[in-house]
Copies of this chain bind each other. A is one copy, B any other.
Amino acid sequence: MTEGVEWAVHCCVVLSQAVEPVSAAQLAELHGVSKTYLAKHLQQLSRAGLVRSTRGRVGGYELTRAAAKVSLLDIVEAVDGPEPAFRCTEIRQRGPLATPPEKCLKPCGVARAMGAAEQAWRRSLASVSVDDLAGSVVRDNGAGTFDALRGWLAPG
C-alpha cells in the first residue's frame, strides 16, 4: 500500500468537516506536506469521483457525496487502484506435469484462497466510512477538534 493512501484519507476527513471548499494549499499546510505532493493524491480522489474542485470566490475541494457514503475502500482504490495484491501467474500450467489449459478454467485453490483473504480485507475497509473516521477523531480528541479546524479554515 502506498503512503498516499494515508494522506488521501486524512484529506477526506478534513473535507467532511469543512463548511466550504478547502484549497489544496490549505490541505497541504494543514498536513505539513508540499502542495505538489498532495496535488497528485487530490487528483486521484477527483478522478475516482470522491471529491470535486470548485472555482470562484471559495475555490477548493469538497466531497461529492455525504461522508457516510465514502468508504475507506473507495479511497484506497482511488489511490492504489482496484487491482488485487496477489496476482496468479498460473504456475500450475508450467513444467512437466502442467495442468492442461482446459482444466484451468477456474482459478486454482491458491488463487481462490488468496482472493478470499483480499475479499475479507475489502469488506472490512468498505465497512468504515469517512464519517466513521471523523467520529473516531472526536471520540479520541474531543468535540472541539473540528471546531478548531473550522476556525483555522475560515477565510479572513
Where the two chains meet, the residues of A that have a C-beta atom closer than 8 Å to any C-beta of B are: 1, 3, 5-7, 9-10, 13, 29-33, 72, 85-89, 91-92, 94-99, 103, 106, 108-110, 112-114, 116-125, 128, 132-133, 135-137, 139-141, 148-149, 152
Contact between A91 and B10 (Cβ–Cβ < 8 Å)? yes
Contact between B133 and A72 (Cβ–Cβ < 8 Å)? no
Contact between B1 and A94 (Cβ–Cβ < 8 Å)? no
**Given A32-B94, A86-B5, A91-B7, A125:B117 Cβ within 8 A:** yes
Q: Which residues of B contact A114 (CB under 8 A)?
A: 72, 125
Among B89, B98, B121, contact of A121 (Cβ-Cβ < 8 Å) = B121
Contact between B91 and A6 (Cβ–Cβ < 8 Å)? yes
CA distance A139 to B22 in the complex (A): 56
Q: Which residues of B contact A87 (CB under 8 A)?
A: 1, 3, 6
